[in-house]
């Protein structure tokens, strides 16, 4: 069964003076439970692809199907609810809120669900235990290392129990040791939990540890 399916995706950015083709006729299928890496030079369309799969951007043409649901003209509220339940995001620069402590950062995706405060707290503590940061609940992001910040970001991504994790250069800001720890955590989420992971990366060694490498060049899928 497919977790993600893209059919004839094109993405064009237009201004008054120029038209840029960011993605051209992309057809891509990712099965449930698969860990896939997306690689290619800067500007080849990787981040655009991830934004479209993450429902943060719309294709100019083509179909996006997530967990057997064709994403059409949903209202903003329905799209946000679908994204919140199905997708978890991990970014290179963590995107933690510096004014919130670890617990509050991880709790954020659950605020938008019909859930009691005690259940939210239970889930947050559970995922922070999973990523090895249960002792850092009250720490602020500025008090954490880069690797710890990324583990907080992963906890935030999985606290809502999404089936799909989208990771954009998750080890790009980390040294090799911290990067290896984050990759071990992602592999655990994939193998033990069965989560589907789509990871954009420039790291060939890490990409070769995943099930499949999809390569892009000038907006086209070349492998």
**Closest alpha carbon to 196 in 148, 150, 163, 156:** 163
Question: Would you kindly state where each structural domain of the chain is located, as residue ranges?
Answer: 36-47+80-222
161: left (phi over 0), alpha (psi -120 to 50) or beta: left
Q: What is the pLDDT of residue 106?
A: 97
What's the rounded Cα separation, in Å, for the pair 23 and 45?
6
Ranges of the chain whose pLDDT falls below 70: 223
Q: What is the pLDDT of residue 223?
A: 67
Cα–Cα distances in Å, from 51 out to 43, 47, 141?
A: 14, 6, 25
13: Cβ–Cβ under 8 A, 6 or more apart, which residues?
19, 20, 22
Residues 36-47+80-222: name the CATH superfamily: P-loop containing nucleotide triphosphate hydrolases (3.40.50.300)
Tens digits of residue pLDDT in 156-178: 999 999 999 999 999 998 999 99
Q: What is the pLDDT of residue 112?
A: 84
Q: What is the pLDDT of residue 204?
A: 95
Q: What is the pLDDT of residue 193?
A: 95
Backbone angles phi, psi at 183, to 5 degrees: -65, -40
Tens digits of residue pLDDT in 26-57: 999 999 999 999 999 988 999 999 999 999 99
State both tokens at 70: 């064709």
């Amino acid at each position: 069964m497919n977790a993600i399916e893209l059919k004839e995706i094109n993405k064009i950015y237009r201004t008054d003076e120029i038209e840029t083709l960011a993605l051209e006729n992309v057809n891509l299928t990712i099965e449930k439970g698969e860990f896939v890496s997306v690689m290619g030079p800067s500007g080849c369309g990787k981040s655009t692809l991830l934004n479209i799969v993450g429902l943060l951007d719309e294709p100019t043409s083509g179909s996006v199907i997530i967990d057997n649901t064709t994403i059409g003209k949903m209202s903003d509220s329905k799209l946000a609810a679908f994204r919140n339940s199905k997708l978890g995001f991990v970014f290179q620069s963590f995107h933690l809120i510096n004014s919130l402590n670890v617990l509050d950062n991880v709790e954020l995706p659950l605020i938008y669900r019909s859930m009691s405060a005690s259940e939210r707290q239970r889930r947050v503590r559970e995922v922070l235990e999973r990523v090895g940061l249960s002792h850092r609940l009250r720490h602020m992001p500025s008090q954490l290392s880069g690797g710890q910040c990324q583990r907080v970001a992963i906890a935030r991504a999985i606290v809502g129990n999404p089936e799909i994790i989208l990771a954009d250069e998750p080890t790009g800001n980390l040294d090799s040791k911290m990067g290896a720890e984050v990759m071990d955590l992602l592999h655990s989420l994939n193998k033990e939990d069965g989560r589907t992971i789509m990871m954009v990366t420039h790291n060939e060694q890490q990409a070769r540890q995943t099930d499949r490498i999809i390569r892009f060049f000038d907006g086209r899928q070349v492998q």
